[in-house]
Amino acid sequence: MTNLNPQTILNDLKSRIGNVLTVDGLKAAAKAAARLANQALPGATGAEKAAFAEKWLLAAVEEYDNKIPVLGAFMDLPIIDRLEAAAVRAAVAWGYSAMELDAA
């Protein structure tokens, strides 16, 4: 995934997550987001790459907020958004760790 078209990035990450947001899907998408950040920002710092990966993974995760209309209204609450962002940060950190293990 080296195409930087925003819709292509979102579609790729969502396809890795699957129809239902699961831990395994989130891990697969986090690893893909970390890989994309490394490819797209070769001269950037680790923090800049992580922020890039987090931005795109969070956008993909937020697409799932309205899959169940009854829950959609609650998923847009500020506390839920902060929890989603924290989960995405943790997933991206895991993605970078998994990439390092793959390279070893």
Cβ proximity of 95 and 53 under 8 Å: yes
Confidence grade of residue 80 (pLDDT, cut at 50, 70, 90): confident
Residue 2, pLDDT > 80, answer no
Query: What is the CB neighbour count within 10 angstroms for residue 10?
Result: 16
pLDDT (mean) for 23-31: 93
With respect to residue 1, please indicate whether it lies within any of the assigned structural domains.
no
Q: What's the pLDDT score for residue 82? A: 92
With respect to residue 60, please indicate whether it lies within any of the assigned structural domains.
yes
* DSSP per-residue letters across 54-86: HHHHHHHHHTTTTSSHHHHHHHTSHHHHHHHHH
Cβ proximity of 72 and 66 under 8 Å: yes
Cβ proximity of 40 and 4 under 8 Å: yes
Q: In terms of residue numbers, what domain contains 27?
A: 6-103
Q: What's the pLDDT score for residue 56? A: 94
Across the chain, mean pLDDT equals 88
pTM for this prediction: 0.84
> Worst-scoring range by mean pLDDT, 18-32, 61-75, 89-103?
61-75
pLDDT (mean) for 89-93: 96
Domain count of the chain? 1
